[in-house]
Structures are given as C-alpha cells and as structure tokens.
Amino acid sequence: MTRRAVFLDRDGVLNRAIVRNGKPYPPRSLAEVDILDGVSEAVASLQRAGFLTVVVTNQPDVARGTTPRDLVDTINNRLKAELRLDAVLTCFHDNAENCDCRKPKAGLLLHARDAYGLDLASSFMIGDRWRDIEAGINAGCRTAFIDYHYDEPRPPRQADFVCGSLKEAAIWILAQTPP
C-alpha cells in the first residue's frame, strides 16, 4: 500500500518568518524560532489521519555564506523533535547552482516519494510562497497556499486552496480525504 504525505514548508508554515520590507526571511538564531499558533495540533491531526509530515525547505543562505549550516540543522532538529515531524528535507543551494532539489523544482518531494513509498497524487504541499506551490504542482500534489500578503510574486499557477494558517489548511485536507 502506498502512503500519503503532507509536505510542509518551514518558515512561515511551521515557524514565524521574519518579515522585513514585506519579504519573509528565516530566523537568524534559535532564539528567533517561534512555532506558530495551532501548528502542533494541525501536525498531530494530519498524522492521526495517516499522513506522513515531511518538511521540504529551501535554505539558500547556507550557500550564500550568510547562515551556517549547523544553525539550519539545529532549527530543523528542534522543529522535528517538538512537532514530531516524520522528516525534514533541506535544499542548501542557491538559484545559480540549478540543482534539482530547490523549489520550485520537485526534487525534495520526489526524493521523499522514493524514500517513503509515497503516492504524490494523494499527497499535499502547504507553503507560503510561490515556489512551494509550484513544487507541489510539479510533483503532482494538491496544494494549499498560506497567504500572508508578502510583497512578492504570488504563485503563477493557482493553488487548490488559499488560507491563512496551517490549521486552516489541515482542516481543508482532512475534510476532503478519506480516512
């Protein structure tokens, strides 16, 4: 039997993104990591319904030399432990490296599919930026866009659902999927 997953972007979905001049950025320290309200409950409800919870996150500041990889790993490990996430997959590359794992490409989702035996057509991608939605669509998942009205491009293709939080996205997913 194939499994299904909910893919989650990290910053802005699980933890508060640091917004400067209308644009979201990752936390610059472990002290800045603030898990958003309702996230623990949303993740737990998705897991109870049989979904794997897999974080797929771009962290290009590592390649740019502005964030140490060990900080990204520490933040990821904290979120994984506190939220009891099934996996955290990270792209550390910048755009110029043209890797397959940087969203909007679907490489991280395809890797998870192969590693965990996932059915992507029965899976979902939740994100707060256009790259997240495009990655989900490119992988064949249904998508939920958490719209914080950042000062940046919206997804070029329409998400299946637009909402204001992970909690709202989880309710939508659970309402339309069989147990």
Identify the three-state secondary structure at position 125: strand
CB-based contacts of 114: which residues, under 8 Å, 6+ apart? none
Q: Give yes or no: 34 in active site.
A: no
* pLDDT given for residue 156 in this prediction: 82
Annotated catalytic, 11? yes
DSSP state of 132: H
Q: Of these residues, 9, 61, 86, 128, which one is catalytic?
A: 9
**pLDDT per residue rounded down to tens, the chain (179 residues):** 579 999 999 999 999 999 999 999 999 999 999 999 999 999 999 999 999 999 999 998 999 989 999 999 999 999 999 999 999 999 999 989 999 999 999 999 999 999 999 999 999 999 999 999 999 999 999 999 999 999 998 888 899 999 999 999 999 999 987 76
Number of folded domains that form the chain: 1
Helices (H), the chain: 39-48, 61-64, 69-83, 107-116, 130-139, 166-176
Owning domain of residue 69: 4-176
Tell me if the pTM is above 0.75: yes
Contact between 85 and 101 (Cβ < 8 Å): no
Beta strands 51-58 and 87-91, pairing class? parallel
Q: What does the pLDDT read at residue 1? A: 56
Give the CATH number for residue 34. Answer: 3.40.50.1000
Determine which one of 11, 61, 86, 132 is catalytic: 11
Describe the strand order of the beta sheet including 51-58 as a list of residue ranges.
87-91, 51-58, 4-8, 124-127, 142-146, 161-163
